[in-house]
Amino acid sequence: MNNRQLEDLIYQYHWRKKELDRISNILWGSNRKNKSVGVTQYGIEATLPKPNTNLKSIPEMDDMDARDKRLYDRWTGYQAKVYAIEMATDYLEDEQQQIILDCMMEGMSYRSIASHLNVNRNKIRDMKENMLSQLCQKCHLFKGF
């Protein structure tokens, strides 16, 4: 993956995150991250295994119609890309580079990032290129995208 592809992936983070919420609302009926954890169980019920609701089983996949399968496949692909971009911050040492990455993930332009960090727009471009090349050297995060 080159710098341009990585930059596009970062700038696409914002809408992919929103699309993940929309698709999970369609597939599971509500936004899963806001789901209630339920009532605490006591006794033998607390020790019984709980179902994994993150993945669909083979019978569930067979019962899905074509649209749901397409949405589920898109959801799994977007989930992997969003997770990889979120993990990229852990590989940056410089705090300003982390801020630039966060601003890029929010979809901010060069001018607004420069205004936010109170530096020149050309300096932001140089810092962004350094950040992207640093992340490209750790390409194991972005394999297959």
pLDDT of residue 38 exceeding 70, the answer is no
Question: Is the separation of the CB atoms in 145 and 7 below 8 Å?
Answer: no
User: Higher pLDDT residue, 108 or 46?
Assistant: 108
Higher pLDDT, 57 or 134: 134
pTM of the model: 0.69
48, pLDDT greater than 70: yes
Radius of gyration for the alpha carbons in the chain, expressed in angstroms and rounded: 20
The per-residue pLDDT for 129 is 93
Q: What is the 8-class DSSP label of residue 74?
A: H
Q: Locate the domains of the chain by residue range.
A: 3-26+56-142
User: What's the whole-number average pLDDT of the chain?
Assistant: 83
Residue 40 CA to residue 55 CA, distance in Å, equals 23
